[in-house]
Amino acid sequence: MGGATGGAPTGGVTTLAASTGGAVPARPVLLTVDDDRTVSRAVARDLRRHYGDRYRVVRAESGPDALAVLRELTARGEMTALLLADHRMPGMTGVEFLEQAMDLVPSAKRVLLTAYADTDTAIRAINDVDLDHYLLKPWDPPEEKLYPVLDELLEQWGRAAPASFEGITLLGHQWSAETQELKEFLARNQVPYRHLQGEGATAVRTAAELTDDALLPATVFPDGTVLSRPSLRDVAERCGLPTSAGSPFYDVVVVGAGPAGLGSAVYAGSEGLRTLLVERTATGGQAGTSSRIENYLGFPRGVSGAELAMRARDQAVKFGVEVLTTAEITEIAPHGDGRVLRFADGSEVTAHAVVLATGVQWSRLPATGAEEFSGRGVYYGADPHEALSCRDEEVYVVGAANSAGQAALHFAKYARRVVMLCRSPDIRRGMSEYLVSRIEASDVIEVRTCTQVVAVEGADHLERLVLSDSSTGGTETVAASRLFVFIGARPLTDWLGDAFSRDDHGFLRTGPALLDGDGRPPAGWPLTRAPYHLECSVPGVFAAGDVRAESVKRVAGAVGEGAMAVTLVHRYLEGTR
């Protein structure tokens, strides 16, 4: 078997030559290296006979070829359990191969196959390359001279081996904003991944030829494909997530896949409307980052925002809804009885009606230095997976609403200490009582009221917070490496044109809120009827959920408005046909 090689990534895609097939197999690898093909086949035959049901046997006929195979296997996240190398090989001896292989697969057991005349070399290799064992040729019968030795070594390896991994490997510095963005994208789209850095990433970076930090962050896929500094769209396409519309026309396009958008999509699809659901990042919206929603109807034990979002997405797809990820709509323009929606990539679709469910995003922290450290210690919102990275650390949470309370309780399962910073004198002003009681009962969570963050400091990442206490007028500097911000939200409506009426905070006005004091429609309204309850100032475009002015900012309320919007879409379509 020849080696696997790959070109150095230059900001795009690199594919490591596929020598092991597509998806990552669950079985660890036993790699044999011998330049004598007859011997090589005999070793592989004996190994497969005894270990073929538990391990995958791979052959190489030279040291350089074997190293190339190891680089490929490592880049794919496959585990190598055993290296069995012949000593007398031209160009690179077995000892030389095992020495270099240690950098790629340090945990693999190393066995040297040698002749009686080379036993002194084999004995020296026990110290030089941490050789686990050497075997003399011939090894017949294998039941006596081969299997007992390898059984013991593989048992030792199995006890210390990590669990197999079959997802994406993410390489990037912990305090990189780009790495953080990729982590959030993969987690929220429920794409299995592992984030390697430091010593744990050395072997994979070497195998994928990503030793230059300028090439990070990077993703290594199970089939060996390497994406250096990829966009979210690059990753989505490589993961098989649809990013472009499959048709030029739809009955209804739903913009935003939070609870309101998912509610609209499910009801529209179930009622026979050809529906397109468009999301910039991941389904679930802001609610999708919630570790546990406990007051949503029908889930007495609670449900995570991610699970609720994926259930709703699967339900929408079941009803024929087409779902796009990393797709951004930049304009909605009238086109006869329809509406043209233009995407950032230059494409466009036409729909009879549109539901805007773009939700809100967290307000930025108004503290000196906060923007500088965004993604490098300062985070807006928190996906549940972030708590795992905070094990035994001290975590600061800014905010006093339900989202902040849910995050604090989730972090408390892993962090050594969680400090909640609240401007108000009492967290009960904006938080549900069931959360307040649990926070007060926690030995891990400390609540500091009347406190604000006025400055964020550090070198390459967050290291200190300057806090202000409004009750005393004093300031305090505390050590901190992670700050999670939940301080209100603003709507995502900047991209909409002037034809869309908004309130002073940017939320979309709909229905009765558009009428003047005499109950008349707004100027420029082209229809004789008044706007429907969720209809925007542009006919045929409806708003649902948090993006709508005066909406109830609750998951149940958003889902309800999403469903109601579809009822109004039907009414609108009946009036235009």
Q: Residue 219 is part of a domain; what is its CATH number?
A: 3.40.30.10
**pLDDT tens string 28-54:** 999 999 999 998 899 999 999 999 999
> Is 388 in the same domain as 276?
no
- In angstroms, the CA 575 to CA 577 distance is 6
Q: Is the pTM of this model over 0.85?
A: no
Neighbouring-strand partners of residue 448: 421
DSSP state, 215? G
> Which segments of the chain have a pLDDT < 50?
1-11, 15-25
What local confidence, expressed as pLDDT, does residue 74 receive?
Answer: 83
b/e string for 185-201 if b means 16 or more Cβ within 10 A?
bbbbbebebbbbbeeeb
**Per-residue CA distances from 147 to 49, 140, 144, 161, 172 (Å):** 10, 10, 7, 20, 41
Q: Within this chain, do residues 32 and 154 fall inside the same structural domain, yes or no?
A: yes
Q: Tokens 């093909």 sit at which residue?
A: 37
Question: How many helical (H) and strand (E) elements, i.e. helices and strands, does the chain have?
Answer: 14, 27
CATH of the domain at 70: 3.40.50.2300
Backbone angles phi, psi at 536, to 5 degrees: -80, -175
Number of structural domains the chain divides into: 4
Lookup: tokens for 100: 């270099």
Domain shared by 149 and 200, yes or no:
no
Q: What is the pLDDT of residue 534?
A: 98
Residue 537 lies in a domain: no
Residue 134, in any domain of the structure: yes
Residue 94 lies in a domain: yes
Residue 522 lies in a domain: no
Q: Domain residues for 138?
A: 25-160
Among candidate residues 487, 522, 553, the one where a domain is terminated: 487
Residue 331 half-sphere exposure, CB side, CA atoms within 13 Å?
10
Query: Do 204 and 288 fall into the same domain?
Result: no
User: Which tens digits make up the pLDDT trace of 60-85?
Assistant: 999 999 999 998 888 777 889 999 99
Read off the pLDDT of residues 427-437 as tens digits, 9 standing for 90 and up.
Answer: 998 899 999 99
Q: Which residues pair with 508 in a beta bridge?
A: 502, 548
Confidence (pLDDT) at 13:
56
Count the neighbouring beta carbons within 10 Å of the beta carbon of residue 144.
10
Instruction: Tell me the CATH number at 280.
Output: 3.50.50.60
Instruction: Find all residues with CB under 8 Å of 462, minimum gap 6, and list them.
Output: 373, 376, 377, 378, 456, 480, 481, 482, 483
Tokens representing 80 are 């190598």
Do residue 91 and residue 136 come from a single domain?
yes
Tokens at 316, concatenated? 């929408």
Q: Is 274 within a domain? A: yes
Predicted pLDDT of residue 128 = 67
Report which of 261, 280, 282 is spatially closest to residue 328, judged by C-alpha positions: 280
